[in-house]
Structure 1
């Protein structure tokens, strides 16, 4: 799943550098230059992470972090021109997840973002052949595009992604995906596979990608995500 980052930085050149590095890694960003703007934005919109400069024009990043922690648990990475140990300790004590001093390498910032996300969500994301499964949010992305799935389509595709080369019989898929449904038949699996293939094909065509049948039919056996 593409990450979304709020960059709170009053120096436009630094913000643009961070945005460029993030976009190169398929990370979505939004930029604000004031602490109050950040707080107002976070009350209306959720992000996967916040990059927060300490030296803001209207309030310190420390104050922003203290206030946002009253209503928001989003991870925070502090940026600062100061390299004092007391500042690092204070930042971590009030709820920051990491601390980087200027000047910094944009690629290092991206690496730290990814490391924090892996630490916070060690088992919720899985990437297979263009698919990104985010179990925590019950979402699946294909080629960076969110798939609009019904409950059973999500559970079916999630099952196939979990073991991409395994051939799942229709009976196994029925027992796994439709275990709480009444009067479902094996052809229900075929119907849902058909709609999933259609949705994947639409995304491939929209992005001018070569058509690929990711969900493979094994005659007399069942389905797998990959051959």
Structure 2
């Protein structure tokens, strides 16, 4: 039997009843929860409460979820789970492009949301408790991925990646020339019990490519293998 997870979760939604319902489920799961109902309060609460996971509604009035996420990413590396009332890929991708790690479309099962939060917390706890392996940095051309320090440099300059982006890049770099399916990458970066959309991998890969100035049409680093997944190139 695994130990129960602990952690702090900030829930932000202008639908008061929904926010309280979600908070109640999270508290029953043993988590410390704070709730806010608008974007301005949300940014301040992230600073004060220091959550491990931010459950954030995309359609907040005034300061919307995208802008909240953008501001939060300037000072916090907490996981961000975006909530959207519209089943619209544009909204989802816009939210993820500013640093969200996952999304849930309304209406959703509160139990599913708790499961997503737990998956994020399991990943965070694993990272925190894994000792430095002492492995040498992975070098692909002028790209250096230092797993122990969790740092990436390109042509000697640091590249700022989120936790998810780093783990995806490190997983690919650790298996040079091997094609990894989306499902394999999900299991490496999240865990085998993750229930999200595998195509979130594509969004995160797109963000990594942008930060590496790696064109999908003529990649040096991350190559798409159609119908399968991705592989790390040689950097040449």
Using the size of structure 2 for normalisation, the TM-score is 0.51
Conservation of the 8 A alpha-carbon contact between 2:38 and 2:61: yes
Matched, 1:83 2:87: yes
Map 1:204-215 to 2 at 5 A: none
In the aligned structure 2, how far is the partner of 1:70 from the partner of 1:107?
Answer: 30
The answer for the alignment partner of 2:113 in structure 1 is 109
In the aligned structure 2, how far is the partner of 1:4 from the partner of 1:121?
Answer: 12
The answer for the alignment partner of 1:182 in structure 2 is none
In the aligned structure 1, how far is the partner of 2:127 from the partner of 2:86?
Answer: 35
Per-residue deviation, 1:45: 2.7
Cα 1:33/1:85, change in 2 over 3 Å: same
Matched, 1:55 2:72: no
The answer for the alignment partner of 1:92 in structure 2 is 96
Map 1:122-137 to 2 at 5 A: 122=126, 124=128
Per-residue deviation, 1:2: 2.0
**Aligned mate of 2:37, from 28, 33, 44:** 33
For the residue of structure 2 that corresponds to 1:50, the secondary structure is strand
Aligned length: 126
Alignment gaps of 5+ in structure 1: 127-227
Larger radius of gyration: 1
In the aligned structure 2, how far is the partner of 1:39 from the partner of 1:124?
Answer: 25
Conservation of the 8 A alpha-carbon contact between 2:14 and 2:38: yes
In the aligned structure 1, how far is the partner of 2:30 from the partner of 2:10?
Answer: 14
The answer for the alignment partner of 1:18 in structure 2 is 22
In the aligned structure 2, how far is the partner of 1:4 from the partner of 1:119?
Answer: 14
In the aligned structure 2, how far is the partner of 1:72 from the partner of 1:56?
Answer: 20
Alignment gaps of 5+ in structure 2: 131-236
Matched, 1:3 2:7: yes
Cα 1:83/1:123, change in 2 over 3 Å: same
Per-residue deviation, 1:124: 4.0
